Amino acid sequence: MEPITVYLLVLVCIIIGGILSSLAVHLMPVGGAPAAMATATGIATGCVMLMTGAAVTGLFTASTVASFWVTNPNVILVALSGAVGSMLMMGFTMFVGNLIYIFGAGIVPCSGRVAVDPITKESQTEYKTPRTDGHGVPTVSFVSGILGGFSGGFGGALIYVMLVSDSYAHFSVATAGIVAMGIFIANAIIAAYNIGGTIEGFHDPKFKARIRTGLTCSLIVSALCGVIVVIAMLTGTLVGGVM
Amino acid sequence: MGEEEAKQAKQEEKEEKAKPKEKFKLSFDYFNESRLGILALIIGVLIAIFPGLPAFIKGIGIMIVFAWGADSVRKTARYGLGTGVPSIGVLALGFGIVGGITGIAVASMRFGTLEVLGGKVEIAFGVLAGVVLLALLGFVSGNLANGDKFINMKIPGLERGMTELGIAGTLAVLIETSIVAGTYDPARVLPNVINNGLIAAIFIISAFGMLQPYNTCLGADERRARTLLMSIEIGGIASIILGIATTLTLSAVQGVPLIVLGAVVWVVFYRAYMKACMDEAYATPGTGLIKTLGG
């Protein structure tokens, strides 16, 4: 491939990865501090912590799968394996969270933002304790979280594999991993500021209202990050890690 | 009656005078937000472009950079970010990693590093490319987060805060890399800092140096000088960790003074911080779990 094509491909893949990670954060069921008392729907932590945990798991599975090839790892397969890792991590987190909410706190998982679960078509309002904002992780939020895991893991692993593959950037494994994580975190935090606290998933009215702004910001931030990484590639000094 | 009232008023005045709250002498009053920023930028850039300096001078550099980062976190996070204080500190280091690695890549090019005095002193101007690019990225993301057409967070000075955090994060990564590797040559940096995973420790200790002070101290009676004491204390802890790493990668001559500096700074600033907390608190009953300092 022509060098200019390689640089453009890396830039485009970093932008796609960044936008996917921003979308992932918008899909997470994030409850924040109120969820720790089971008075809000979602996992009891911030967007960034939840998404970073999922994405780092995705990077682990992706780097393991990427090491199956001696040269030229298959980009789509590695990115998909990252997505699977992230989905598993999100699934376990939400499942164990729900176990604790249901059997420990004794609440029924239900959505606080919609009256009827869009997937199971079951009514939610009867199960919501007055003056709370929902509880636990209901079905629709679980599905949304799994989709978010897919999107975030795919995005993070896509950035990673473009940086580590010897036909593209050819950084060392650790350099590619930490740079992918840096770009991912920058995007995830801008998206978290866009959400501003808590979100339940794609059925939340907040999602529809804010997703366009979030993706626009992520496009600009990841384009800049991509340009910076391409500058690092252009110097040619990081090529061919020792490991 | 009148006399008594006057007496009482006098006594009250005396009582007010008799409780000097902010007793701790090391004051950051002269170094207000702008002055601290300029000082930290100048010192940080000077230390970052001379990778041949002894490690303990670079250790002082990271403490000043941490204080600057913590100050920026303080001035942006006090308006409420909605996602907690840690997010902006981690953002700074997410930026810092990208900028640091770009800076190292540019510095290792032929024009990136100038050798003067017959090749004895290296001046790595190239790392400034990473600093400048990340200042730009920080400014753009600050504008995105604060702009009314975009996220519209309505936080005064967020643009400046994010620019400063981009620069401070990059400088922290660069200085810590140059402490451990002693140079910006990728042949040394890649195996000693990045491929062995030390970069992850650098990431998280630098993030803690910037986010932890305000995260711990925030509240109604938060005072800037007290918050910044903690950032310098974390700089001491970071120096100890990096000193151990430097002893393993470079030599004990570089590593041991850094460990000693870190330990002294840690003890001195931990004591100062605890003292300031106890002086300014209304009352401090001890739990008996940790031996409180004179409390």
The Cα of A98 is separated from the nearest Cα of chain B by a number of Å equal to 22
pTM: 0.88
Q: How many contacts does A have with B, using Cβ atoms within 8 A?
A: 149
Would you say residue A242 lies in a domain? Answer: no
Which of the residues in chain A have pLDDT under 50? 241-243
CB contact under 8 A, B195 and A172: yes
* Domain carrying residue B208: 33-219
**Among candidates A172, A181, A189 on the partner chain, residue whose Cβ is nearest the Cβ of B190:** A172
CA A175 to chain centre: 20
Would you say residue B284 lies in a domain? Answer: no
Residues A168/A14, Cβ–Cβ less than 8 Å: no
CB contact under 8 A, B105 and A231: yes
Residues from chain A that touch B86, judged by Cβ atoms under 8 A, are: 46, 48-49
The model's pLDDT over B167-202, given as tens digits with 9 standing for 90+, comes to 999 999 999 999 999 888 888 888 888 888 899 999
CB contact under 8 A, B94 and A183: yes
Instruction: Give the total number of structural domains in chain B.
Output: 1
Q: CB A210: neighbour CB atoms within 10 A?
A: 18
Q: Which amino acid is at B276?
A: A
Determine if residue B261 is left, alpha or beta; phi over 0 gives left, psi from -120 to 50 gives alpha, anything else beta: alpha
* Domain carrying residue A212: 3-235
Assign B43 a pLDDT band (cuts: 50, 70, 90): very high
Would you say residue B121 lies in a domain? Answer: yes
Cα distances (Å, whole numbers) of residue A122 to A7, A27, A118: 50, 21, 8
Over range B139-166, report the average pLDDT: 88
Over range B241-264, report the average pLDDT: 92
Would you say residue A167 lies in a domain? Answer: yes
The three-class DSSP label of residue B291 is: coil
The confidence score (pLDDT) of residue A113 equals 87
Judge whether B198 is closer than 8 Å to chain A, CB to CB.
no
Would you say residue A243 lies in a domain? Answer: no
Residues from chain A that touch B142, judged by Cβ atoms under 8 A, are: none
The Cα of B28 is separated from the nearest Cα of chain A by a number of Å equal to 30
Instruction: Give the integer Cα–Cα distance in Å for A21 and A155.
Output: 6
The residue of chain A nearest to residue B151, with distances taken between CA atoms, is A194
The confidence score (pLDDT) of residue A180 equals 92
Assign B295 a pLDDT band (cuts: 50, 70, 90): very low
The model's pLDDT over B110-129, given as tens digits with 9 standing for 90+, comes to 777 777 776 678 888 888 99
More confident: B121 or B248: B248
Residues belonging to chain A: 243
Phi first, then psi: give them for residue B256, nearest 5 degrees.
-65, -45
The model's pLDDT over B9-39, given as tens digits with 9 standing for 90+, comes to 566 555 545 444 444 455 667 778 788 889 9
Scanning B64-103 for CB atoms below 8 A from A yields 81-84, 86-88, 90-91, 93-99, 101-102
Residues 6+ positions from B102 with CB-CB distance below 8 Å: A228, A229, A231, A232, B129, B130, B133
Cα distances (Å, whole numbers) of residue B27 to A7, B22, B62, B210: 50, 9, 19, 19
CB contact under 8 A, B194 and A183: no
Residues from chain A that touch B87, judged by Cβ atoms under 8 A, are: 46, 48, 189, 192-193
Would you say residue A222 lies in a domain? Answer: yes
Does ipTM surpass 0.90 in this model?
A: no
The confidence score (pLDDT) of residue A242 equals 42
Would you say residue B147 lies in a domain? Answer: yes
